[in-house]
Amino acid sequence: MSAKQGEYLRGILGGADEEDTAEPVPERPRRTNAILSRTNTIERLASGELRQVTEMRLDPGRCRIWEGNARRYEMLNEAACSDLIESIIADGGQKIPAVVRRVQDDPDHEYEVIVGTRRHWTISWLRKNSYPDMTFLVRLETLDDEAAFRLADLENRARKDVSDLERAWNYKLALTSYYGGRQKRMAERLRITQGWLSKMLSVADLPTEIIEAFPNFDSIALNVGYEIASALGTKRREEILRTAAEIRAEQNELRNRGDVLLDGKKVATRLLATPTPKLRNEPLQIKKGGRTVTSLVSKTRGAITIRVHNPADLNDADIGDAVARLIKTALKR
DNA sequence: TGGTGTTACTCTCTAACTTG
DNA sequence: CAAGTTAGAGAGTAACACCA
């Protein structure tokens, strides 16, 4: 974690300094059947105040996943978590705690996982597969939804283990849920630029047809997704969607045959290579009172040539207005 | 085989521009 | 005028080729 991220994290959690010393506190008796062991330590905050930090080992079955989490829990499987499964077995248990908060409204769960969805999935899987004694190591925090979102996002950014597309969907949801639809406010709170957030949000709107042309979520990088989203805003939209449908059919065929799917790069290249439909043939003109004022002579990459018809019969305002409208329309073609 | 340089790519930012 | 969008650039990094 960078110094900048560390400072940001202290803002979310209340100012704990990384170099502060921690004093162990005698373990308290078990409070619920979810808690298998519990350790409290005292941390000194940057402000000088002391803060209690609680780490516990839990039964993962008593924890639910926070719905504001970017990662799609249902997409996790043995292959996606193989690295974590191996490292936890090698270490003899989970070493890096997840972050949870207490929930009161759910008879089946006592805690909610804010950060560490993969760790939760992996420990749950190991308990069912030869390691029934594995416990879920967590740090207990008191966080509102917005702080939970920022903490989870910081973790995802640092670990880079959530795809750009999942993150984009998560941002879109957060924008309305926590920031009243205000991108500026959200960018400030997350300490990201407005420009970057804007790109992220446009990726979140990619239609299903496009997403299904790619082999998986991970293969839709931010810049690729953004380029496609931008292209969908032009006259190429229908053509691009048609190409996406073709690619999706090919991917399904490859999948059925057990062959390797077209990778994200190839898919993006094909989608973006979709040509712009031919311009309409009718001449572009601006009329006033039934007579043509301006017309388009030619349009090239760097220049637009305009003809003004009978300028001596027109006033400057009408000419100016007609020229401006013609240029605007020509640029859209 | 390991070190070094080059290239391509990604991530994030800035600043100019557009929109309501 | 504030908020949002966009293009382009810089920094960092991964992948690759080349050479001693």
| CATH assignment of the domain containing A40 | 3.90.1530.10
Nearest nucleotide to A175 (CA to C1') is C4
In angstroms, how far is C3 C1' from A81 CA? 41
What confidence score (pLDDT) does residue A63 get? 94
What confidence score (pLDDT) does residue A28 get? 44
Question: CB neighbours (10 Å) of residue A116?
Answer: 26
| Domain-embedded: residue A279 | no
Nearest nucleotide to A196 (CA to C1') is B12
Domain boundary among A160, A194, A217: A160
What confidence score (pLDDT) does residue A113 get? 93
Do A173 and A207 belong to one domain?
A: yes
Do A16 and A119 belong to one domain?
A: yes
Range of the domain at A227: 166-272
| Domain-embedded: residue A278 | no
Do A136 and A47 belong to one domain?
A: yes
**What Å distances lie between residue A203 and A109, A211, A240, CA to CA?**
34, 10, 15
Total domains in the fold of chain A: 3
Q: Hunting for tokens 């105040």 — which residue is that?
A: A49
Domain boundary among A272, A294, A323: A272
What confidence score (pLDDT) does residue A231 get? 76
| Domain-embedded: residue A182 | yes
Domain boundary among A160, A184, A202: A160
For residue A148, what are the contacts with CB-CB under 8 A and spacing of at least 6?
A: A66, A68, A101, A114
Do A40 and A98 belong to one domain?
A: yes
| Domain-embedded: residue A277 | no
| Domain-embedded: residue A101 | yes
Q: How far apart are CA A238 and CA A231, in angstroms?
A: 10
What confidence score (pLDDT) does residue A58 get? 93
Do A114 and A28 belong to one domain?
A: yes
Do A35 and A126 belong to one domain?
A: yes
Nearest nucleotide to A331 (CA to C1') is B18
In angstroms, how far is B18 C1' from A221 CA? 26
Task: State phi, psi for A176 to the nearest 5 degrees.
Answer: -80, -35
Do A73 and A31 belong to one domain?
A: yes
CA A312 to chain centre: 58
**pLDDT tens-place values along chain A, 333 residues long:** 444 445 555 666 654 333 333 444 444 434 457 777 788 888 776 667 777 888 999 999 999 998 887 777 777 888 778 778 888 888 889 988 899 999 988 899 999 999 888 899 999 999 999 999 999 999 999 888 888 888 888 777 666 567 778 878 888 888 878 887 777 778 777 777 777 777 788 788 788 888 888 877 777 777 778 878 877 776 677 788 888 889 889 888 888 887 777 777 778 778 877 665 443 334 566 666 656 677 766 655 455 666 676 666 666 666 776 676 666 666 555
Q: Which nucleotides of B are covered by protein (CB under 7 A)?
A: 10-16
| Domain-embedded: residue A280 | no
Q: Which nucleotides of C are covered by protein (CB under 7 A)?
A: 2-8
Do A114 and A192 belong to one domain?
A: no
Do A102 and A192 belong to one domain?
A: no
Say if residue A273 is exposed, middle or buried (CB neighbours under 10 Å; 0-12, 13-18, 19+): exposed
What confidence score (pLDDT) does residue A25 get? 46
| Domain-embedded: residue A48 | yes
Do A120 and A8 belong to one domain?
A: yes
Do A128 and A32 belong to one domain?
A: yes
| Domain-embedded: residue A220 | yes
Residue A187 is part of a domain; what is its CATH number? 1.10.10.2830
Coil vs helix vs strand at A100: strand
| Per-residue flag: A221 CB under 7 A of strand B | yes
Buried b (16+ CB within 10 A) or exposed e, A74-112: eebeeebbeebbeebeeeeebeebbbbbeeeeeeeebbb
Do A263 and A201 belong to one domain?
A: yes
